[in-house]
Amino acid sequence: MKLAVINGSPRGRDSNSSRIAGWITSSLEGSVEVCHAYVFNIARYDELMAKIGGCDYYLFIFPLYTDSMPGLSKAFMEKMEEHKPLFSGKNIAFIIHSGFPESSQSLTVERYTRYFASLLGMNCTGTIKMGGSEIIRSAPDSFFKDKVAAFQKIAKNIERSEPFDAKALEIIGSRKRHGAFFNFIFKHIDIGGIYWNRILRKNKAYKSRFDRPYLND
């Protein structure tokens, strides 16, 4: 089997999507040929269509951006639609991950992935939702031991073109909603603010964080 792993992150190879893809591809048997495609360069989309068009199974991984997906992921999907005959009748699966702790944040875009698969006449074998992914790039695999093991089970499901393991999906998408304890913590300690303020300072955008450039006078 030839598997196309489509990385829908604007960060490309240096992304959380790439790390998750590695957990899966490293567990595949040698009989599975993996073909990687990165969506960050729009100018290469036609070239990538030719590259992945002969694959048997497609795994599309992308981060959640404002309850949807990155514009580059959407643009790549639209390019796939232009080449619909290359993909019709084949298997496709999706992994949506986000910095939100709750995987339920991805429910809306999950419905779109299923619609997209039907639009191309593809068989959607499953859409995996994972929260709390923003720290993946900066933490060792041991920090995500249970989820890594779950993705390894998913790899076996992909090899056999079978439905995803229910227990693995539960582990990957665990903590769909906060309990009372976490709600209390997040209400009184701005954990997200600490992280994002650091990113803003790193990119010299902290002083402009409250700017509203599109607000009419």
Residue 164 has pLDDT above 90, yes or no: yes
- Give per-residue pLDDT as tens, 89-126: 999 999 999 988 778 888 899 999 999 999 999 999 99
Quick check: pTM over 0.75?
yes
Place of tokens 């969506």: 39
pLDDT value at residue 33: 95
Q: Is 38 exposed, middle or buried (0-12, 13-18, 19+ CB in 10 A)?
A: buried
**Cβ-Cβ contacts under 8 Å for 207 (sequence gap 6 or more):** none
Q: Following CA atoms 208, 211, 214, 216 in sequence, which dihedral angle do they give, to the nearest 10 degrees?
A: -140
Q: Report the topology of domain 2-177.
A: Rossmann fold (3.40.50)
Neighbours of 33 (CB within 10 A): 12
Residue 80: which pLDDT band, with cuts at 50, 70 and 90?
A: very high
pLDDT value at residue 190: 65
Listed by start position, the domains of the chain span 2-177, 178-217
Bridge partner list, 127: 94
pLDDT value at residue 179: 62
